Structure 1
Protein backbone atom coordinates (compact mmCIF):
# COMPACT_ATOMS: atom_id res chain seq x y z
CA UNK A 1 0.00 0.00 0.00
CA UNK A 2 1.27 3.44 -0.89
CA UNK A 3 1.51 5.93 1.96
CA UNK A 4 -0.86 8.35 0.18
CA UNK A 5 -3.57 5.65 0.27
CA UNK A 6 -3.40 5.20 4.04
CA UNK A 7 -5.52 8.20 5.16
CA UNK A 8 -8.55 7.58 2.89
CA UNK A 9 -8.36 3.81 3.42
CA UNK A 10 -8.14 4.19 7.21
CA UNK A 11 -10.91 6.80 7.53
CA UNK A 12 -13.27 4.95 5.21
CA UNK A 13 -12.37 1.49 6.51
CA UNK A 14 -12.99 2.38 10.15
CA UNK A 15 -16.30 4.04 9.28
CA UNK A 16 -17.58 1.11 7.18
CA UNK A 17 -16.32 -1.53 9.63
CA UNK A 18 -18.01 0.23 12.55
CA UNK A 19 -21.26 0.47 10.60
CA UNK A 20 -21.13 -3.26 9.87
CA UNK A 21 -20.45 -4.17 13.49
CA UNK A 22 -23.41 -2.02 14.59
CA UNK A 23 -25.69 -3.72 12.07
CA UNK A 24 -24.44 -7.17 13.15
CA UNK A 25 -25.98 -6.57 16.58
CA UNK A 26 -28.93 -4.55 15.25
CA UNK A 27 -32.47 -5.06 16.47
CA UNK A 28 -35.53 -6.31 14.58
CA UNK A 29 -36.95 -2.82 14.04
CA UNK A 30 -33.73 -1.67 12.35
CA UNK A 31 -33.68 -4.81 10.23
CA UNK A 32 -37.24 -4.12 9.06
CA UNK A 33 -36.39 -0.56 8.00
CA UNK A 34 -33.18 -1.55 6.20
CA UNK A 35 -34.85 -4.48 4.47
CA UNK A 36 -37.87 -2.43 3.39
CA UNK A 37 -35.75 0.29 1.89
CA UNK A 38 -33.48 -2.14 0.05
CA UNK A 39 -36.39 -4.19 -1.31
CA UNK A 40 -37.93 -1.08 -2.82
CA UNK A 41 -34.87 -0.63 -5.01
CA UNK A 42 -33.40 -4.13 -5.21
CA UNK A 43 -36.32 -6.61 -5.32
CA UNK A 44 -33.98 -9.62 -5.14
CA UNK A 45 -33.68 -8.98 -1.40
CA UNK A 46 -37.38 -9.80 -0.90
CA UNK A 47 -36.30 -13.46 -0.76
CA UNK A 48 -34.53 -12.77 2.55
CA UNK A 49 -36.05 -12.09 5.94
CA UNK A 50 -35.22 -8.66 7.40
CA UNK A 51 -32.82 -10.29 9.87
CA UNK A 52 -31.06 -12.25 7.11
CA UNK A 53 -30.73 -9.09 5.04
CA UNK A 54 -29.32 -7.13 7.96
CA UNK A 55 -26.73 -9.86 8.60
CA UNK A 56 -25.81 -9.97 4.90
CA UNK A 57 -25.39 -6.20 4.83
CA UNK A 58 -23.34 -6.33 8.03
CA UNK A 59 -21.07 -8.99 6.51
CA UNK A 60 -20.60 -6.86 3.41
CA UNK A 61 -19.69 -3.81 5.46
CA UNK A 62 -17.37 -5.74 7.78
CA UNK A 63 -15.61 -7.31 4.79
CA UNK A 64 -15.31 -4.03 2.90
CA UNK A 65 -14.06 -2.14 5.95
CA UNK A 66 -11.54 -4.87 6.76
CA UNK A 67 -10.19 -4.95 3.20
CA UNK A 68 -9.59 -1.22 3.37
CA UNK A 69 -7.82 -1.45 6.72
CA UNK A 70 -5.43 -4.29 5.83
CA UNK A 71 -2.31 -2.71 4.32
CA UNK A 72 -1.35 -5.88 2.44
CA UNK A 73 -4.63 -5.87 0.46
CA UNK A 74 -3.95 -4.36 -2.98
CA UNK A 75 -5.53 -1.01 -3.77
CA UNK A 76 -7.34 -2.54 -6.74
CA UNK A 77 -9.15 -5.09 -4.54
CA UNK A 78 -9.95 -2.63 -1.74
CA UNK A 79 -11.05 -0.02 -4.28
CA UNK A 80 -13.25 -2.48 -6.18
CA UNK A 81 -14.96 -3.59 -2.97
CA UNK A 82 -15.58 -0.03 -1.81
CA UNK A 83 -16.70 1.18 -5.24
CA UNK A 84 -19.19 -1.67 -5.60
CA UNK A 85 -20.54 -1.26 -2.08
CA UNK A 86 -20.92 2.50 -2.33
CA UNK A 87 -22.44 2.26 -5.83
CA UNK A 88 -25.21 0.10 -4.38
CA UNK A 89 -25.82 2.72 -1.68
CA UNK A 90 -25.91 5.48 -4.28
CA UNK A 91 -28.43 3.36 -6.19
CA UNK A 92 -30.67 3.55 -3.13
CA UNK A 93 -30.21 7.31 -3.11
CA UNK A 94 -30.99 7.69 -6.80
CA UNK A 95 -33.99 5.36 -6.90
CA UNK A 96 -35.75 5.88 -3.55
CA UNK A 97 -38.55 8.43 -3.78
CA UNK A 98 -38.10 11.50 -1.63
CA UNK A 99 -34.32 11.31 -1.38
CA UNK A 100 -33.64 13.93 -4.07
CA UNK A 101 -35.09 17.31 -4.88
CA UNK A 102 -37.42 17.03 -7.91
CA UNK A 103 -35.48 17.09 -11.19
CA UNK A 104 -32.16 17.38 -9.37
CA UNK A 105 -29.26 15.30 -8.06
CA UNK A 106 -29.24 17.34 -4.83
CA UNK A 107 -30.62 15.67 -1.72
CA UNK A 108 -33.69 16.49 0.26
CA UNK A 109 -33.31 16.56 4.04
CA UNK A 110 -34.21 12.85 4.05
CA UNK A 111 -31.63 12.07 1.38
CA UNK A 112 -28.59 13.66 2.98
CA UNK A 113 -27.53 10.48 4.81
CA UNK A 114 -27.42 8.48 1.56
CA UNK A 115 -26.01 11.31 -0.55
CA UNK A 116 -23.03 11.45 1.79
CA UNK A 117 -22.07 7.98 0.57
CA UNK A 118 -20.77 9.65 -2.57
CA UNK A 119 -17.49 10.31 -0.75
CA UNK A 120 -16.97 6.56 -0.36
CA UNK A 121 -17.55 6.13 -4.09
CA UNK A 122 -14.89 8.77 -4.73
CA UNK A 123 -12.39 7.07 -2.42
CA UNK A 124 -13.05 3.73 -4.14
CA UNK A 125 -12.55 5.23 -7.59
CA UNK A 126 -9.39 6.93 -6.38
CA UNK A 127 -7.95 3.60 -5.21
CA UNK A 128 -8.87 1.98 -8.53
CA UNK A 129 -7.29 4.86 -10.47
CA UNK A 130 -4.14 4.64 -8.36
CA UNK A 131 -3.89 0.90 -9.01
CA UNK A 132 -4.45 1.40 -12.75
CA UNK A 133 -1.85 4.17 -12.87
CA UNK A 134 0.66 1.97 -11.10
CA UNK A 135 0.11 -0.88 -13.60
CA UNK A 136 0.33 1.50 -16.54
CA UNK A 137 3.52 3.21 -15.45
CA UNK A 138 5.28 0.12 -14.12
CA UNK A 139 5.65 -1.55 -17.48
Structure 2
Protein backbone atom coordinates (compact mmCIF):
# COMPACT_ATOMS: atom_id res chain seq x y z
CA UNK A 1 0.00 0.00 0.00
CA UNK A 2 1.44 3.39 -0.89
CA UNK A 3 2.37 5.84 1.82
CA UNK A 4 -0.33 8.31 0.74
CA UNK A 5 -3.06 5.65 0.62
CA UNK A 6 -2.01 4.30 3.99
CA UNK A 7 -1.92 7.78 5.53
CA UNK A 8 -5.37 8.64 4.17
CA UNK A 9 -6.92 5.38 5.35
CA UNK A 10 -5.51 5.90 8.83
CA UNK A 11 -5.38 9.65 9.46
CA UNK A 12 -8.80 10.72 8.23
CA UNK A 13 -10.92 8.14 10.10
CA UNK A 14 -8.42 8.24 12.98
CA UNK A 15 -8.94 11.95 13.56
CA UNK A 16 -12.72 11.60 13.19
CA UNK A 17 -12.98 8.69 15.66
CA UNK A 18 -10.53 10.31 18.09
CA UNK A 19 -12.53 13.55 18.10
CA UNK A 20 -15.79 11.66 18.61
CA UNK A 21 -14.30 9.71 21.50
CA UNK A 22 -12.84 12.73 23.26
CA UNK A 23 -16.23 14.44 23.00
CA UNK A 24 -17.90 11.61 24.92
CA UNK A 25 -15.47 11.42 27.85
CA UNK A 26 -17.10 12.93 30.93
CA UNK A 27 -20.46 13.49 29.26
CA UNK A 28 -23.53 14.15 31.46
CA UNK A 29 -25.36 11.11 32.86
CA UNK A 30 -28.54 11.81 30.85
CA UNK A 31 -26.69 11.92 27.55
CA UNK A 32 -24.70 8.84 28.52
CA UNK A 33 -27.90 6.91 29.24
CA UNK A 34 -29.32 7.92 25.86
CA UNK A 35 -26.25 6.67 24.02
CA UNK A 36 -26.36 3.45 26.02
CA UNK A 37 -30.00 2.86 25.10
CA UNK A 38 -29.21 3.30 21.41
CA UNK A 39 -26.15 1.04 21.64
CA UNK A 40 -28.11 -1.64 23.49
CA UNK A 41 -30.54 -1.80 20.56
CA UNK A 42 -27.67 -3.34 18.61
CA UNK A 43 -25.81 -5.15 21.38
CA UNK A 44 -28.28 -5.93 24.21
CA UNK A 45 -25.51 -6.86 26.68
CA UNK A 46 -24.48 -3.18 26.77
CA UNK A 47 -27.64 -2.43 28.78
CA UNK A 48 -25.96 -4.12 31.76
CA UNK A 49 -23.20 -1.49 31.98
CA UNK A 50 -23.66 1.55 34.26
CA UNK A 51 -25.74 4.03 32.26
CA UNK A 52 -24.14 7.12 33.81
CA UNK A 53 -20.64 5.95 32.86
CA UNK A 54 -21.42 4.37 29.47
CA UNK A 55 -20.66 7.50 27.44
CA UNK A 56 -17.24 7.91 29.02
CA UNK A 57 -16.43 4.21 28.57
CA UNK A 58 -17.43 4.44 24.91
CA UNK A 59 -15.43 7.65 24.60
CA UNK A 60 -12.28 5.98 25.93
CA UNK A 61 -12.78 3.04 23.56
CA UNK A 62 -13.23 5.38 20.59
CA UNK A 63 -10.20 7.39 21.67
CA UNK A 64 -8.13 4.19 21.75
CA UNK A 65 -9.27 3.21 18.23
CA UNK A 66 -8.56 6.71 16.91
CA UNK A 67 -5.13 6.79 18.55
CA UNK A 68 -4.27 3.34 17.17
CA UNK A 69 -5.05 4.59 13.68
CA UNK A 70 -2.93 7.70 14.15
CA UNK A 71 0.12 6.02 15.68
CA UNK A 72 2.41 4.70 12.94
CA UNK A 73 3.89 2.14 15.38
CA UNK A 74 0.54 0.30 15.42
CA UNK A 75 0.47 -2.16 12.48
CA UNK A 76 -2.21 -1.69 9.82
CA UNK A 77 -3.76 -5.05 10.66
CA UNK A 78 -4.18 -4.17 14.33
CA UNK A 79 -5.50 -0.64 13.69
CA UNK A 80 -7.75 -1.97 10.92
CA UNK A 81 -9.13 -4.72 13.15
CA UNK A 82 -10.02 -2.15 15.80
CA UNK A 83 -11.72 0.12 13.28
CA UNK A 84 -13.62 -2.72 11.57
CA UNK A 85 -14.81 -4.07 14.92
CA UNK A 86 -15.91 -0.64 16.08
CA UNK A 87 -17.73 0.01 12.80
CA UNK A 88 -19.41 -3.40 12.91
CA UNK A 89 -20.66 -2.63 16.41
CA UNK A 90 -22.21 0.58 15.12
CA UNK A 91 -23.84 -1.30 12.25
CA UNK A 92 -25.59 -3.65 14.68
CA UNK A 93 -27.74 -0.68 15.72
CA UNK A 94 -28.52 -0.01 12.06
CA UNK A 95 -29.56 -3.56 11.21
CA UNK A 96 -31.46 -4.18 14.46
CA UNK A 97 -33.79 -1.20 14.12
CA UNK A 98 -36.46 -1.50 11.42
CA UNK A 99 -36.82 2.31 11.30
CA UNK A 100 -33.27 2.64 9.96
CA UNK A 101 -33.74 0.54 6.81
CA UNK A 102 -36.15 0.40 3.91
CA UNK A 103 -38.49 -2.60 3.70
CA UNK A 104 -35.70 -4.71 2.19
CA UNK A 105 -33.77 -4.47 5.48
CA UNK A 106 -30.60 -3.29 3.71
CA UNK A 107 -31.01 0.13 2.10
CA UNK A 108 -31.05 3.01 4.60
CA UNK A 109 -34.16 5.00 5.35
CA UNK A 110 -33.84 8.75 5.97
CA UNK A 111 -33.43 7.96 9.69
CA UNK A 112 -30.78 5.31 9.00
CA UNK A 113 -28.42 7.30 6.78
CA UNK A 114 -26.34 8.52 9.72
CA UNK A 115 -25.66 4.92 10.84
CA UNK A 116 -25.40 3.36 7.37
CA UNK A 117 -22.36 5.54 6.71
CA UNK A 118 -20.55 3.54 9.39
CA UNK A 119 -20.22 0.80 6.79
CA UNK A 120 -17.34 2.92 5.47
CA UNK A 121 -15.50 2.43 8.76
CA UNK A 122 -15.82 -1.34 8.32
CA UNK A 123 -14.59 -1.10 4.72
CA UNK A 124 -11.60 1.05 5.68
CA UNK A 125 -10.76 -1.30 8.54
CA UNK A 126 -10.90 -4.33 6.25
CA UNK A 127 -8.76 -2.50 3.70
CA UNK A 128 -6.12 -1.85 6.34
CA UNK A 129 -6.26 -5.44 7.58
CA UNK A 130 -5.97 -7.09 4.19
CA UNK A 131 -4.36 -4.38 2.03
CA UNK A 132 -0.97 -6.01 2.20
CA UNK A 133 2.34 -4.43 1.49
CA UNK A 134 3.73 -3.10 -1.77
CA UNK A 135 5.73 -5.75 -3.55
CA UNK A 136 8.56 -4.74 -5.79
CA UNK A 137 8.25 -5.78 -9.37
CA UNK A 138 11.06 -7.41 -11.27
CA UNK A 139 13.75 -4.98 -12.20
CA UNK A 140 13.29 -2.93 -8.99
CA UNK A 141 10.37 -0.85 -10.29
CA UNK A 142 7.23 -0.36 -8.20
How far apart, in 2, do the equivalents of 1:82 and 1:125 lie? 8
Cα deviation, residue 29, structure 1: 2.7
How far apart, in 2, do the equivalents of 1:90 and 1:46 lie? 17
Residue 68 of structure 2 contacts residue 79 of structure 2 at CA under 8 Å; is this kept in 1? yes
Q: Which 5+ residue runs of structure 2 have no aligned equivalent?
A: 137-142
Partner of 2:20: 19
Partner of 2:73: 72
Partner of 1:10: 11
| TM-score using structure 1 length | 0.88
Residue 42 of structure 2 contacts residue 89 of structure 2 at CA under 8 Å; is this kept in 1? no
> Structure 1: which 4+ aligned runs deviate by more than 3 Å?
none
Instruction: For 1:46-65, list aligned pairs within 5 A.
Output: 46-65=47-66
| TM-score using structure 2 length | 0.86
Partner of 1:108: 109
Larger displacement relative to structure 2 (33-42 or 1-10): 1-10
Cα deviation, residue 42, structure 1: 1.6
Per residue, is there more helix in 1 or in 2? 1
* Residues 1:82 and 1:47: Cα distance change in structure 2 (over 3 Å): same
* Residues 1:25 and 1:46: Cα distance change in structure 2 (over 3 Å): same
**Matched residue count:** 135
How far apart, in 2, do the equivalents of 1:109 and 1:30 lie? 23
How far apart, in 2, do the equivalents of 1:103 and 1:123 lie? 25
Larger displacement relative to structure 2 (56-65 or 35-44): 35-44
Once superposed, what is the RMSD of the aligned Cα atoms?
A: 1.9
Cα deviation, residue 78, structure 1: 0.3
How far apart, in 2, do the equivalents of 1:102 and 1:26 lie? 35
* Residues 1:112 and 1:10: Cα distance change in structure 2 (over 3 Å): same
Larger displacement relative to structure 2 (49-58 or 120-129): 49-58
